Structure 1
Amino acid sequence: MSSLPSPRTSALSAADWRVSVAPMMDWTDRHCRYFHRLLSPRARLYTEMVTSAALVRGKQLRLLEHSQQEHPLALQLGGSDPHELAQAARFGAEAGYDEINLNVGCPSDRVQSGRFGACLMYEPALVADCVKAMRDAVSIPVTVKCRIGVDDQDDYAGLQHFTGLMLEAGVEVLVVHARKAWLKGLSPKENREVPPLDYERVYRLKREFPRLAVVINGGITTVAQVQAHLARLDGVMLGRAAYHDPYLLAQIEHALHGEPLPARESVLRQLRPYIEAELARGTALKHISRHLLGLYQGEPGARGFRRILSEGAHLPGAGWALIERALAPRPLAA
């Protein structure tokens, strides 16, 4: 594992974005992504949002650490200064990422105070300038993740105008969370649940901008929903469903590509070398095992599996033996 793998580029193909796992703060770290890759060989994975200021002014290049097994892998950036974003994108490309994604969808107060995230939907010309600067700086794809609207800016015309400017700036892939964001009055969690989903607005966007690859995000929880969206759009991005029920990723691979469904236990055993290598370099088991808790979601013994990992992973010396305990037939049959 290297914090700065050798540079690589990837040819742009709509198929590359058919299925992806959303960038989720505090969730999609490098351990989560490694685990998700074992379940889905093809899904495009995204980092947690990294601010351009952290990379450029804070010199926190450690935030770019990842393993080669995670590819195809995108770095999501947050920021609104074109020059700074261009430099951060350059760092990402040099670190080996396959895509740079600009966050124009996060509604949290912290993000708003930094003038990035969903509030940038009020400033589409600035977003276009940011995209142009990043595209000039790197040869890998630069994409944007946005909402269908913000606050009272909740008509199709606003999204249409925003999308047109993105296309002019050179964006070829637009990820659209099919809910608007309320910048005041709702928490980030409520912004993922309260504003109603409007998939039809995203479908219309694809019809009117046919050469743009449109990826839909928001409320997608089943294989059938993934297939239905793919019949009308270029890609589907899963968020919390992929985290809380990660085996869904394997089920999607099976449905779309005929991949044999792996046994859950076999997936965990494939993770053993990674876990032991991480423990050897000082990583606490709890930082990895927290991403595994949903693997048996809906299966007999799921509660026992979660309990053993939750109660034991934080203890000093916790290691692979705890995973074996969680896999023992007794708790899984409970």
Structure 2
Amino acid sequence: MSADASSIILHQYDISPFSEKVRVVFGIKGLDWFACDEPVIMPKPELVALTGGYRKIPVMQIGADIYCDTQIIIRELERRFPKPSIFTGGDKGLGWGMGLWTDRSFFMAAVAVIFGNAPDAMGEDFKADRTKLMGRPFDTEAMKAGAPLMAEQLRANFGWLEEQLADGRKFLMGEAPGIADANAYYNLAFIRWIVPAAMKSAEAMPHLAAWEKRVTAIGHGNRQEISRDAALDIAKSATSIEVVKADPGEPNGLKPGDKVTVMADDYGRDPIAGELVSSSAQHIALKRSDPRVGDVVVHFPRAGFLVMRS
């Protein structure tokens, strides 16, 4: 099967923890998708041509619509492919809020434990790149010193999952996997890929250990590969399906046609400028143009991102 404007293209790399979150959702929904492998560190010229400056991984592309951040990627997958739903136990709202826990405090504990125990796992170029991304030193010596303390934090996060699973349920919200499982699982996968010995505390929790194996067994759907140039060619030949729509509830009166800039509020705060196409409490879409891909619409979530008039 060859990719076209209707295909799901995930700009990712295999050891990207946040890409793993999306890949688990692909598995839950049994989706066909194309992996477009991007560099782990900058420069990422093809990705930047699509996004206008957003450099974090993953990014999902469907035709000329570009989705940045796992929150908006998963929201769009649920909208386009609602069956089976990722909301399996009354978690339609709180499932999103859980993502801020797993993407921030849980993830940062995992990062500290990983690089505190394996400070040279990714090399000096990676450290320099992540220093620029984070806006502060990626100090593996400090992580090494703090690793014992962060191991305690990590075990506490594992313990919450163990308690949730303690009644014998198969997945975090019940008998079927969903967004809660994808949100939590990728942190365990990330640790296991690089420092499997750091998973001892999780392996000592019987419900959590069994759950991890069940989520792993879900797989990643049907993956195929696509080159970066081929993905950009699809974007250039496609037209966005996003409909121009004003949101009367916009707190600061933003409306279609306004020039705005969007950036993450935590790290990787590269500003992306464009013309507002549509917005809501959970979503904002900007139209922008690049010589390599033509006109595209770039989508972001609202939680975790800042929107400013240009």
TM-score (norm 2): 0.30
1 or 2 for the larger relative contact order (CA 8 Å, sep ≥6)? 2
Higher strand share: 2
TM-score (norm 1): 0.29
